[in-house]
Structure 1
Amino acid sequence: MSDRINSLKKALEKDPNNPLGLYGLAMEYYKQGDYENAIIYLKKYLALHDDEGAGYRTLAQCYVNLGDYENAIEAYERGIEKATKYNHPTMVAEFQQEIEQLKSML
């Protein structure tokens, strides 16, 4: 386990609902290819923070890397809702394209 993961976990012991800490830890797991743990912390982050879409992209990519295309599509769909809410049309288009590619793989 990396020093970065250890320090983020220690910080989260003091403040387990810190959105930045949860997101940071999820991203560290993602970078290491530990998609299961990345999903755990991304879900906690998304439950606490009104993400604008990027968190849903990473969540979807975790599912894609695990071969779970249905959950990936759901994450992208939720990301579209948020990206629309925060007026990120290019992100909406990107997520729609990803959904179409994933549906063709089902």
Structure 2
Amino acid sequence: MANPRLETLKQLLNQNPGDSFLRYGIAMEHVREEDYEQAVAEFRELLNRNPEYVAAYYHCGQALERLGDVEGARAIYQAGIELCTRTGDLHTRSELQTALDLLG
């Protein structure tokens, strides 16, 4: 069954392909539907276009973990931690560090 929110977000993104918030919303809808592969693809596209969209690092890492890609999750968490360290975002850095630590 089609997700009307997802379809609306995709239509809006087609009209404004550079809108990071819309792409993040699409990725999060895929997470909600447990379509982690598509979620990761959207998060990666978002981070390619806007590498400073810090929330995407955590959620992309979580989706990668659900896919069993621990090394991919580790890499994305580390990239997010580096960004947060440079920008001084201590709260998000702490969340990413906790997620990384939980990987073992």
Shared fold, TM over 0.5: yes
Deviations 1:56-100 (Å, cap 9, x if unpaired)?
000000001111100000010011012112212233233223222
Tell me the secondary structure at the aligned position of residue 88 of structure 2. Answer: coil
| CA–CA separation in structure 2 for the residues paired with 1:33 and 1:13 | 23
Secondary structure of 1:16 counterpart: coil
Per the alignment, in what secondary structure is the counterpart of residue 91 of structure 1?
helix
1:57 and 2:73 matched: no
Taking a change above 3 Å as real, the CA distance of residues 80 and 35 of structure 1, as seen in their structure-2 partners, is same
Pairwise CA distance, 1:28: 0.9
Residue 77 of structure 2 contacts residue 100 of structure 2 at CA under 8 Å; is this kept in 1? yes
For 2:14 and 2:85, how far apart are their aligned partners in 1?
34
The CA distance in 2 between the partners of 1:59 and 1:50, in whole Å, is: 12
Partner SS state of residue 79, structure 1: helix
Matched, 1:87 2:84: no
Q: What CA deviation, in whole Å up to 9, does each residue of 1:18-61 have, x standing for no partner? A: 21211111111111111111111111111112435211000000
Tell me: CA distance 1:52–1:7, structure 2 relative to 1, closer, same or farther (3 Å): closer
What's 1:75 paired with?
Answer: 76
TM-score by length of 1: 0.86
Q: Which runs of 5+ in 2 are unaligned?
A: none
- Range moving further from structure 2, 31-40 or 10-19: 10-19
Size of the alignment, in residue pairs?
103
Identity %: 30
Deviates more, 1:54-63 or 1:81-90: 81-90
Q: Which residue of 2 aligns with 1:18?
A: 19
Letter in 2 for 1:48: R
